[in-house]
A and B are shown apart, each in its own frame.
Chain A
Amino acid sequence: MDAELQEIRDFLLTSPDYAVLPEPVLDRLPKSLSVRYLRRGSPFPPAESEAADLWLVRAGAVDLRDSEDELLDKLGEGDIFAVPEDVDPLNPVAGRVVEDALFYLLPGRDARELRQQHPAFAERFDRASRRPVERALAARRTGGNRGHGVLTVSVGELVTRPPITIAPESTIRAAAERMTEQEVSALIVMSGDELVGIVTDHDLRKRCLAAGRSRQEPVGNIMSGGLQTVTRETPAFEALLLMSRQDIHHLPVMSGRQPVGLISTTDLIRHQGTNAVYLVRDIRRCESVESLSQVAGSLRELQIQLVQSGATAFHLGQAVTAVIDALTRRLLKLAEARFGPPPVPYAWLACGSQGRREQSVHTDQDNALIHGDSKDGEVDAYFTRMAEFVTDGLDACGLPHCPGGVTPRNADWRRSVSGWRKEFSRVTYTPDRKRAMLAAHYFDLRVVHGDAALFDPLRSEALTMVGGQPPFLAQMARNALRRSPPLGFFRQLVLVPSGEQADTLDVKKQGLLLVSSLAQVYAFQAGLTGMHTLDRLAGAVHAGVITRDAGENLCDAYETLFTLRARHQVDQMKAGEEPDNHIPPKTLSALERAHLKDAFAVIGTMQKNLRSRLAATGTL
């Protein structure tokens, strides 16, 4: 007999879940399947389904919803669904066919057998069984905040007990005993009702034991005063960033003037699953480019951890940028040590995604430099050397040189204060396409290191300048509207028969940057100073430049695209590949595809709105 069922075998291979099986198993598998057709509106899985039955969507689509009719997942071509072994009566998952669908069904007994024999398949199978339930739980947890991604916890949720306090007059010995007995690593020092300091086990070691201080001295002598504090409402992530910027490990949590708890980096790391704090600290301790490049390798680990702990696009971008900022600062310090102190004040600027604090691990350098005016020719030579040292150092740390020449090695991006002022007015008053593109870059410049007073006034000056320049706004808008979202990509993604390789999606160029450019234009219109795309969108809503709905939709689109990219990069890194921005359509789940489609649609609509609005006012 030569019953080949080659067609079905080929389709199994396009399913990432089945593709993990060895070839000979795949060759035999079609014979174990049955084929089912369910028309639109049919309940899914059908009533006669048995536990562990494994459904593979060959064509069509299915919505999975929880008991409150909340959409948990969408299954499309190539997605699998495993009928749960036991239904959780509190979280039943109900599906409905939303597009006439054809399925390949593997009966439960065969699915179980395959699981036992092939651990890789078992893992994917378990994920498929868990997924809808997990989404149900996640949907419940985030409650009313759906669609805004996973909101990180606030500090208040991490505080589990009131702080352990001690008076400044108590002895160091009493403090040590107290810490041991309460099993804490830090005490809050209270003078009456007033918070005066904090003492940690680190202080005991460093300031008492190592310094040869008597244990009978008052604890006030070794405590740290002038504390940074947070409130219960502070997002845990902000607390983490504060700690990493200040290089501290404990923060008192205040309610008014009353300390109500104490959080440590350990608490945060346990909850956030990140070592950003340690990473920044390690960077600060590096004394050479070599050691920096070694530490920088952990940046990838950081992104993996953050993505897996469900960080939002905003938090991920902030964390990765914080680390890259720290690397840059450290390299500048090393440059200053090497070439001597700078002859005039200067500031190192970041633009593009670093400027907006929206970076991910796959990023290249986009930097500029501003320095005080000087007639001395040596000044420029000094900063050229510095720029070369720092950019080469970043390159060694895995952040390649800017292919577009946006680097202070290039004289166009290394100017004196008056040089930048002249450049800003040039692009503002006589804008053309090229200048609008430059202006878009300039608009995202942010001081990473050095004298902010050189640049910040210049920036506000330039912003005021462009405020009254309709031609400038028109050029910026044209710049933002140059590219449309790849809606065709999605159509292709859905309609191209599987097996044929569709093009990959450049999620940055074809998605994220479109949102960022729109946000830039809105920020211009509203005269906003915020830099992050999400801040700009929120500001634009506040200023009435776009409606609340539009703002929320664009934020969702941004979140979707950013998260998709971050996950894609994590998958690549785990597979030992270089992370990039190119997502092959095959790797997208049905839900991701649905979200992506929504995101592109929103971007398309907002581009159209911007175009027609500017046309109506005669600006475009």
Chain B
Amino acid sequence: MIQPPGPRLFCWRRQRRAARVPPGPLRDYLAGRIPDLSSDCRETPFLAVDLETTGLNPAEDQILSIGWVAMDGLTIRLDTAGQCRVRPTREIPEASAVIHQITDDQAARGGSLGEALERFLEVLGGRVMLAHHAAVELGFLDQACQSEYGFACMIPTVDTLRLAQDEMERRQETVRSGGLRLNALRERYNLPRYKGHDALNDALAAAELFAAQVSHRAEDKPLPLHRVLHRPGPLW
């Protein structure tokens, strides 16, 4: 099967970057294999991820925690669930403390950003990242790797928000305001409303949403991974 040039180019660039990054967690990650991009979504290993941050601007705001849970195909494995708190270097703005309910005291018990990244990149190895509105996660992770290792990370990613948007466009539905929020989309697929909103819960919520999206879209035909892969402009 002929692959579209985008993913192949992406793999090639990733390998090239691995050669330039100094030894460490990011190099190990980039040098590691990523799943075959032509494989069926239902057989792909994923890692659903959610970040909690002090704001939405990667250049100014900081990561407070990283939550994740692995998915093998469409089975979410709770034994892999994990969450890392990060001790921020600046005070947490009051507004974001209200949303995450993470206070300075709690955050102070977290580890350093480097420790969190190291663990995260290790579990991400060999998996495709899955996130809702992945641009935020990618932006913050790039920024974090940049500051820790001097290079941005290149993570193959699936964005559940983008998938929902594509699906609505395909059906020529108008998107209502807030209609692409995680909870609104989950409701469409009869998924329960979760009360907790820590990084792990939201990662799990995104994983379930993805399982629902693929189940509803794929019928019985295979759904190749590259068809759902997130395409951030400059990478393809």
Contact = CB atoms under 8 A, between A and B. Distances in A.
* Residue among A33, A36, A102 with most chain B CB within 10 A: A102
A357 B157 CA distance: 69
A3 B208 contact: no
Nearest to A100: B190
Nearest to A10: B195
A296 B201 CA distance: 55
A88 interface: no
Contacts of B78: 5, 8, 30-35
B236 interface: no
B190 A2 contact: no
Contacts, number: 80
Interface string B59-86: 0000000010000001111110111110
A497 interface: yes
Interface string B169-198: 000000000000000000001111111101
Interface string A90-105: 0000000001111001
Interface in B20-74: 67, 74
A36 B192 contact: no
* Residue among A2, A35, A36, A37 with most chain B CB within 10 A: A37
Nearest to B217: A39
B190 A59 contact: yes
A38 B67 CA distance: 24
**Main secondary structure on B side of the interface with A:** mixed
A34 B81 contact: no
A551 interface: no
Contacts of A100: 189-191, 212, 216
Contact of B200 (A3, A31, A101): A3
B102 to A, nearest CB: 12
Contacts of A36: 74-76, 211
Contacts of A8: 78
B155 to A, nearest CB: 21
B216 A39 contact: yes
A546 to B, nearest CB: 37
B161 interface: no
Nearest to A60: B190
A499 to B, nearest CB: 9
A59 B188 CA distance: 13
Contacts of B189: 37, 100
A283 B170 CA distance: 76
Interface residues of A, number: 28
Given A32-B78, A102-B208, A7 B201 contact: yes
B196 A7 contact: yes
A261 to B, nearest CB: 57
Nearest to B218: A39
Contacts of A6: 196
A60 B192 CA distance: 9
Interface string A434-450: 00000000000000000
B122 to A, nearest CB: 13
Contacts of B103: none
A1 B66 CA distance: 11
B134 interface: no
A59 B76 CA distance: 16
A250 interface: no
Interface in A85-119: 99-102, 105
A58 interface: yes
B145 interface: no
Contacts of A30: 78, 81
A4 interface: yes
Contacts of B75: 34-36, 105
A30 B215 CA distance: 24
A59 B192 contact: yes
Contacts of A105: 75
Contact of B74 (A3, A37, A58, A59): A37
A96 to B, nearest CB: 14
B176 to A, nearest CB: 20
B164 interface: no
B193 A3 contact: no
A5 B200 contact: yes
A431 to B, nearest CB: 50
B131 interface: no
Contact of A2 (B76, B83, B207, B216): B83
Contacts of B208: 35, 37, 102
B204 interface: yes
A37 to B, nearest CB: 4
Interface in A11-38: 30-38
B200 A4 contact: yes
B67 to A, nearest CB: 8
Contact of A38 (B81, B192, B196, B215): B215
Contacts of B207: 35
A329 B87 CA distance: 80
A497 B76 contact: no
A38 B42 CA distance: 13
* Residue among A7, A36, A105 with most chain B CB within 10 A: A7
Contacts of A4: 83, 198, 200
A2 B212 CA distance: 27
A7 B81 contact: no
Nearest to A11: B192
B209 to A, nearest CB: 9
B215 A37 contact: yes
Interface in A364-403: none
A101 B84 CA distance: 30
A34 B75 CA distance: 6
A101 B83 contact: no
Nearest to A2: B83
Contacts of A3: 67, 81-83, 200
A60 B215 CA distance: 14
A497 B74 contact: no
Given A4-B200, A35-B204, A497 B192 contact: yes
A58 B192 contact: yes
Contacts of B196: 6-7
Interface string A572-613: 000000000000000000000000000000000000000000
B232 to A, nearest CB: 27
Interface string A41-72: 01000000000000000111000000000000
Contacts of B74: 36-37
Nearest to A48: B75
A2 B207 CA distance: 19
Contacts of B79: 31-32, 34
Nearest to A35: B76
14 contacts: A1-B84, A2-B85, A3-B81, A3-B82, A3-B83, A4-B198, A5-B204, A6-B196, A8-B78, A31-B81, A34-B77, A38-B215, A39-B215, A102-B208
Interface of A: 1-8, 30-39, 42, 58-60, 99-102, 105, 497
What are the 5 tightest A-B residue pairs by CB atom distance, in nearest-first order?
A35-B76, A37-B211, A100-B190, A39-B215, A59-B192
Given A3-B67, A100-B191, A102-B192, 17 more contacts: A3-B200, A5-B78, A8-B78, A33-B78, A34-B75, A34-B76, A34-B77, A36-B75, A36-B211, A37-B74, A37-B191, A37-B215, A38-B215, A39-B215, A59-B190, A100-B189, A105-B75
